[in-house]
Amino acid sequence: MGTRARVAPVVLAITLVGGLTAAAVAPAHAGATAERAVAPAAAPSYYLKFDKNTVTNSKLYLMKSVAGPDKVIASYKAGSGTSTNTCAVAKGWLPNGDYKIEFHRKNFDGIINGYVIKISDKKCHSGTKRTALFIHSEMKPNGKQGSIESEKWTNSNPNDYYSNGCIKLNPSNIKNLFGKVDAVGWSKLTKLKVVS
């Protein structure tokens, strides 16, 4: 009985330690699995991509960031500038790079009107700062067509895809773009990316 009395506490101690270890490991592992199972998927993000071709025939894309190649949600013909010189203030097309989306309006009243997306300033390769940059069209502040040239879209005489260095869409396309971004949420639109 003396041997059994000495062995019993050792077996009990091993059983208790083993049980505590298993109990300590199991909940930690289960908790990690539970956290993974309930962790929400990252909210999708969107961005605009301007792919320069010519000053009056380039493309503006609404893109969705996904695993692998990003997905094109919409594509629009667009223009930028009257020259391909990215340092020509109020004339050249936009320099390549990323721009912040500063604000958007459907009733902007300024030198340009109506539907606008304000993008951040950008320095070109020589250091010249490009300012007052927008994505816009030609329309009245209420979004309708006007009678003066700056408020009336024409495809020729003059070609209205020319701009003073901004990105320009026709009125139907900018309204379509706003509708698509309204649907996904403007807070999810992270940037404008300009490429060539």
- DSSP notation for 82-105: SBS-TTSTTTBPPPSEEE-EEEEE
Report pTM: 0.78
Q: What is the pLDDT of residues 11-50, one digit of tens each?
A: 444 444 444 444 444 444 445 444 455 555 667 899 999 9
Q: Is 191 helix (H, G, I), strand (E, B) or coil?
A: strand
Q: What six digits make up the tokens of 150?
A: 């700056």
Rounded to an integer, what is the distance from CA 105 to the centroid of its chain? Answer: 17
Q: What is the pLDDT of residues 39-94, one digit of tens each?
A: 556 678 999 999 999 999 999 999 999 999 999 999 999 999 999 999 999 999 99
Is residue 180 within 8 A of residue 46, CB to CB? The reply is: no
Q: Is 15 helix (H, G, I), strand (E, B) or coil?
A: helix
Read off the DSSP letter of residue 92: B
Q: What is the pLDDT of residues 141-181, one digit of tens each?
A: 999 999 998 899 987 777 899 999 999 999 999 999 999 99
